[in-house]
Amino acid sequence: MTLKDSKWSASYRLIAAEKWKAKSAAMGRDVTQALVQFANPQPGMKVLDLASGTGEPAISLASKVGSTGHVTALDLSAELLEIANQRAQARQLTNFSTRQADAQDLPFPNHSFDLITCRFGVMFFEDSQKALAETFRVLKPGGRACFLAWGPFDQPYWSSTMGIVHKYAEGPIMAPGGPNMFRFAEPGSLSVALEKAEFTEVHEETKTLPWTWPGSVEELWEYAQAVSTPFRPLLDRVPVEDWDAVNAEVRRAVAQYVREDKIEFGVVVVLASSKA
């Protein structure tokens, strides 16, 4: 049985997030730290983390701003934010809170935050310009907004998983009009969006970072199918009779990145910063 046979829902994604939270956090650790370093949080800052999900980089940021600062983790999913709360409580963070809300309609007064971050979220906002305008609104004058987005589809992690799926499924990789995780993969495209939202001192760079799964090929492939919501239409188009071939080819492709008990990919991401 493949995940294609399972009913896809928000609750299923929540189960997957809970099941894989430790290994997912480990795989994303270098990317999280790259964004935290890029954002350069200072003690006493008031920080908002957009599309925070299960809590990163918000939790890492909270450890940087200290007891005089505060970090708010914002997401549409109350269930994912509950996981974030549990993780923050386990670390005894008293300067961390969550807020369920839409990034396109932020429930905060103008000029509320010194720093706003977003890891792998800006690509998914239905109206990214509206979300960026809201980000600009709630930033203090001179405050910074820092984003991390996916680079191109053509990189090891995606090529060895969803790239193989695409060989067996007709149609586009991303559903037209649906969430597009590669919306800002083209160099300069995120900068253009930020400038259109009236941000200044826009800086963008592309980096290759470690992306290491601390487990088996089978686990990675199950995880990739479980949490990659934008690829559901692609996965659902694979004919049932082709799934054995897909699974076998994915295992072979991912196996080339196995190093002892880990799977070591390099992941290409886009980092962008700007000022209000």
DSSP string, 22-80: HHHHHHHHHHHHHHHHHH---TT-EEEEET-TTTTTHHHHHHHH-TT-EEEEEES-HHH
Domain housing 18: 3-275
Q: How high is the pLDDT of residue 15?
A: 63
Which pLDDT belongs to residue 132? 98
Distance CA(201)–CA(93), nearest Å, equals 32
pLDDT at 13: 56
Residue predicted with more confidence, 208 or 25: 208
What residues contact 169, with CB distance under 8 A and at least 6 apart? 234, 235, 237, 238
Q: How confident is the model at residue 84 (pLDDT cuts 50, 70, 90)?
A: very high
Hey, what long-range contacts does 7-12 have (CB within 8 A, 24 or more apart)? 8/232, 8/236, 10/77, 10/79, 11/79, 12/226
What are residue 29's phi and psi, to 5 degrees? -60, -45
Q: What is the mean pLDDT of the chain?
A: 92
Q: Which residue has the higher pLDDT, 15 or 189?
A: 189
- How many domains in the chain? 1
Please indicate whether residue 170 or residue 243 has the higher confidence score (pLDDT).
243
The CATH number of whichever domain residue 114 belongs to comes to 3.40.50.150
Q: Report the percent of the chain where pLDDT is more than 70.
A: 93
pLDDT of residue 235: 93
ω into 57 cis (within 30 of 0): yes
Amino acid at 50: L
Gap between the Cα atoms of 195 and 215, Å rounded: 41
What mean pLDDT do residues 79-100 have?
94
3-state SS, residue 6: coil
Q: Which two tokens stand for residue 92?
A: 């005894």
Pick the closest to residue 149 from 274, 271, 39 (CA basis): 271
